[in-house]
């Protein structure tokens, strides 16, 4: 298994971060790697997300778990390697939160896929916070 975790601390409210995450079709507005995204069903456990990165084949994600206002987990099976990303909001105090992306990859290509997928997490977190803070 290969794992990594990236985070950012911000004064942007947890509710604003959550709204940006839950509005899946608009992810491409703040995630620079995404061309388009489609959500099948509500933003809830069991729903499917099709994410199309720029110049790449679509990625099929399953929403594995949602705790409203706190975290969601998505999973992708890429040629027998399961990539599971936890997106979490942690309260630091009354005004600050930490936004966390935790990725676990397990399977034959974990050592290759994990670093490739998570390489832009710091940029993505900064863009998310900027977008949510508008």
Written as tens digits, the pLDDT of the chain (134 aa) is: 999 999 999 999 999 999 999 999 999 999 999 999 999 999 999 999 999 999 999 999 999 999 999 999 999 999 899 999 999 999 999 999 999 999 999 999 999 999 999 999 999 999 999 999 99
pTM, whole model, 2 decimals?
A: 0.95
pLDDT at 102: 98
Place of tokens 């990539």: 83
Would you give the DSSP letter of residue 28? Answer: G
Q: What is the DSSP letter of 31?
A: -
**Per-residue pLDDT, 4:** 98
User: In whole angstroms, what is the distance from residue 95 CA to residue 21 CA?
Assistant: 19
Architecture label for domain 2-23+64-132:
2-Layer Sandwich (3.30)
8 A C-beta contact, residue 50 and residue 62: no
């Amino acid at each position: 298994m290969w794992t990594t975790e990236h985070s950012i601390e911000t004064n942007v409210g947890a509710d604003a971060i959550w709204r940006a995450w839950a509005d899946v079709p608009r992810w491409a507005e703040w995630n620079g790697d995404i061309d388009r995204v489609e959500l099948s069903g509500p933003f809830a456990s069991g729903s499917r997300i099709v994410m199309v990165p720029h110049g790449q084949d679509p990625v099929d994600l399953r929403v594995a778990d949602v705790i409203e206002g706190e975290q969601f987990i998505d999973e992708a099976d890429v040629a027998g390697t399961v990539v599971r990303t936890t997106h979490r909001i942690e309260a630091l105090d009354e005004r600050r939160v930490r936004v966390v992306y935790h990725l676990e990859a397990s399977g034959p290509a974990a050592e290759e896929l994990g670093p490739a997928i998570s390489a832009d997490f710091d940029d993505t977190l900064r863009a998310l916070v900027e977008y949510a803070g508008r």
